[in-house]
Amino acid sequence: MKIIDFIKRQITIKNWGDACLLILKMLFVVFVINETYDEIQYINYFFKLEKLNSNIMIMLVKRLFFVLIICGMLPYLWCLKKRGWSYLCIITIITLGINGSILGIFFIDGPYWGRVVDAETSKPLSGVHVVGKWGLESWYLFGWVGDREDVRETITDKNGVFFLPIGRTVMFYPISRLELKDIYVYKPGYDSHPPRIQYCWTEKDEKKWGLTKYQYRRKYEVFGRKFMSNTIRLNEASSYLEQREAIRLDFDIRGYIGEEAIRHRIKKMIDLYDKEKRRLRRTGKKLVKREA
C-alpha cells in the first residue's frame, strides 16, 4: 500500500508546476529503464569473457560505483525541501552549460539529426543505418586525453530522416567533455560515410569525377553539428571494387571502438556489414543497384 500511495502522490497534479515536474519524472523513469537495460547488457558481456580484460573490469567498477553513489544520494535528495531541489537544478544547469554534464559525473552530448539523400538525385534514402561515435576527453596538466567511447545507432525513415540518440557516459572527473567524433552511414549499393570508394580509384576514375581522392572526401564528408540538421549525401558504388571498399568502413567501426562491451548498441550495423560481406563473397561481382 505504501508503494501505491507513493505513486499516487507522484502523479498528482494540482498546478502547472506539478504538471512540469510530472513530465520530468516520466522522462527520468524512461532514462533509468534504458540505462538499466544498457548496464545489464554490459554486465552480461563481462561474464561471457573467457579472459579478464583490465579495461572492462575498471569500467565495470566505475559504473557500479556510480550506481552506489546515486542510491546513496536518493534518500537525502528525497528529503530535500523545495529550496534544496532548486539548488540541485541550478547546479545541474551550470554543469550542463559548462561541459555538458549532470553534476560533473554523467556526461551527455546531442541531439544530432539530419537526412540521408542520394548525392545525384537528392532523393531521400530510407532504411540507411546511421551510427554516432562519441569520445570522452579529460583535461590534465599536459592537455586533453581521450578516455573512452560511446556509440549509438539508428535507421532513417521513409523520408531519409535520422535522429541519433544522445551520447552519454560516466566519468568521475569533472574537467571532461563528451564530443561526437564521427557519423558512420551505410546502405548497400552506396558509398559509406565517411566516404571510402575513392580509395580504390585509378587515375581514370579521378578524371571521371573531376576530383582527387582527397577532394572527394572533403566534398562529401559531414561533421555532425549539434541542434542543426545534417544532410549526408551518398554516391552510388557503381563497381564491385567500390562496393567492396564501402564495406571496409567496417574496420573503422570495429577497430576504433575500444570496448567490445558497447558494441551491442550498434548490433544492427555490424550485422548488416557481415551480411554484405557474405553476399559479395557468394555472388562475386553481382552488384546492388541504386534505389529507383
What average pLDDT does the chain have? 78
Q: What is the pLDDT of residue 258?
A: 47
Residue 198 lies in a domain: yes
User: For the segment 85-141, what is each residue's pLDDT rounded down to a tens digit?
Assistant: 666 677 777 877 787 887 777 888 888 999 999 999 999 999 999 999 888 887 776
Q: Tell me how far apart the alpha carbons of residues 234 and 225 are, in angstroms, rounded to a whole number.
A: 18
Residue 85 within a domain: no
* Chain segment 31-56, per-residue pLDDT in tens: 667 767 776 766 676 666 666 556 56
- Residue 254's alpha-carbon distances to 18, 248, 270, in angstroms, are 46, 10, 8
Sign of the CA dihedral with 262 first, then 266, 270, and 275 last:
positive
d(CA 170, CA 59) in angstroms, rounded, equals 9
Q: Which residue has the higher pLDDT, 122 or 14?
A: 122
Do 138 and 47 share a structural domain?
A: no
Domain count, the chain: 2
On whether both 139 and 222 belong to a single domain, the answer is yes
pLDDT attached to residue 292: 46
Asked, for residue 290, whether it belongs to a domain, the answer is: no
Return the pLDDT at 276.
Answer: 87
- Integer Cα distance of 269 and 252 in angstroms: 12
The answer on 241 and 149 residing in a single domain is yes
Residue 150, Cβ neighbours under 10 Å: how many? 24
User: Sign (positive/negative) of CA torsion 254, 224, 150, 261?
Assistant: negative
- Decide which of 79, 97, 127 is a domain's last residue: 79
Residues 75 and 148 grouped into a single domain? no
In a domain, 93, yes or no: no
134 and 180 housed in the same domain: yes
44 and 119 part of one domain: no
Query: Which of 79, 95, 124 is at the close of a domain?
Result: 79
More confident residue, 148 or 194: 194
Same domain (yes/no): 270, 189: yes
Q: State the SS3 of 91-106.
A: HHHHHHHHHCEECCCE
Q: Are residues 13 and 56 in the same domain?
A: yes
**At 196, is the pLDDT very low, low, confident or very high (cuts 50, 70, 90)?**
very high
What does the chain look like in DSSP terms, one character per residue?
-HHHHHHHHHH---SHHHHHHHHHHHHHHHHHHHHHHHHHHHHHHHHH-SS--HHHHHHHHHHHHHHHHHHHHHHHHHT--HHHHHHHHHHHHHHHHHHSEETTTEEEE--EEEEEEETTT--B-SS-EEEEEEEEEEEETTEEEEEEEEEEEEE--TTSEEEEPPEEEE-S-SSEEEEEEEEEEE-TTB--BS--GGGG--HHHHHHHTS-HHHHHHHH-----TTSEEEEEE-B--SHHHHHHHHTHHHHHHHH---GGGGGGGHHHHHHHHHHHHHHHHHTTPPPPPP-
For residue 99, being part of any structural domain is answered with no
Same domain, 204 and 74: no
Query: What single letter denotes the amino acid at residue 48?
Result: K
In a domain, 90, yes or no: no
The answer to whether residues 20 and 124 belong to one domain is: no
Residue with cell 535507421: 155
Could you tell me if 117 and 244 lie in one domain?
yes
Determine the structural domain holding residue 253 and report its residue range: 108-283
Residue 291 lies in a domain: no
Are 221 and 132 within one domain? yes
In a domain, 162, yes or no: yes
Give the Cα separation of 252 and 285 in Å (integer): 24
